[in-house]
Chains A and B, each alone.
Chain A
Amino acid sequence: MTAELVLQILLTVAAGLVGVGLFGALSQQSIVMVMMGLELVLNGVLLAGGAAWFFLAPELPDAQVLVVVALVVMAVEMAMGFAVTVAIYRARQVDMVDMAADLRG
């Protein structure tokens, strides 16, 4: 199996994770489930970054640094997501995105 084929298969798996995560983030009503969809998208980024490092340019650290940034984005998303969820629930008992549609045009 050539390296290019393995890279393409891994990137396809990553694209699958991005697609599933996008579906979840757009379709779920619960705020926490929306966050899980976003996490799945970032999971795909982790996989694509790792695959790109190994199969394209292992002598450069750039792809590894990208994976670190994606991990930090995950942590920040999770922390701020839960903080906002708790704050809006405390203020208005809102735990679903459809209940917070005040700004809908």
Chain B
Amino acid sequence: MLSDLSGWAIAAVAVLGVLSVASGIAVFVVDSMARATFALLGSFLAVAGILLALDLVYLAVVTALMMTIEMAIMAVFMIMFMMNPAGLMPMTMVHNAKGSAVVGAGAFAVLAVGIWTIDWPTRSGEQPPDSTRQLGEAIMGSHMLVMLTIGIALFATILAGTVLATARGRYDRFGADLTARRPDDPVPGGLPR
């Protein structure tokens, strides 16, 4: 059976595939944390391009937009936390690099052996005219449980992020049993209970 991808799409997928892995490797090779962030962005954009070639337009656009913003935020955190954000001097911050390389290469080898030895099923069914509509109808219909779970997980993330971001909560101010009459604030004048 011939692939349904046209010639240019196969060429684009090949180039983007190489680019995604090369950018992924670059993340852990470059000296600068900021450069590593943008290398990771390159890897994500290459995968988004492959998804685009596979007619998954919505998922490709979501991946590209989400990851661009995410990496922009990540670059800010990098510059806040890291001692070498600009890569002005060579730097490696690794532990157990050899063992990690063995685990990474081993995982790749196991997956590759599986990929190249499995007798893959042939394609079943026809591609829908609009893959975005197919996804939308699925998450609002037959796969709604997935969407509900995602919604609750994201809501829990918002709550947990807020709790972790709070420097001083009510337990810091009023004691573990919340019985202190006056809040223990570094500067008086905070809100009462």
Residues of A within 8 A of B (CB): 1-13, 15-24, 26-33, 36-37, 39-40, 43, 46-47, 50-51, 53-62, 64-65, 67-69, 71-72, 74-76, 78-80, 82-87, 89-90, 95-98
Contact = CB atoms under 8 A, between A and B. Distances in A.
A95 B3 CA distance: 48
A24 B104 CA distance: 8
B3 A3 contact: yes
Contacts of B40: 36, 39-40
Contact of A46 (B63, B78, B138, B153): B63
Contact of A61 (B70, B122, B135): B135
Contacts, number: 255
Contacts of A39: 40, 44
28 contacts: A2-B2, A2-B3, A3-B1, A3-B4, A4-B120, A8-B116, A12-B111, A12-B112, A17-B21, A20-B28, A24-B100, A26-B96, A27-B97, A33-B33, A40-B40, A40-B43, A54-B55, A56-B120, A58-B125, A61-B134, A64-B59, A64-B131, A65-B139, A68-B139, A71-B63, A87-B165, A95-B82, A98-B95
Given A36-B27, A43-B44, A56-B120, A64 B134 contact: yes
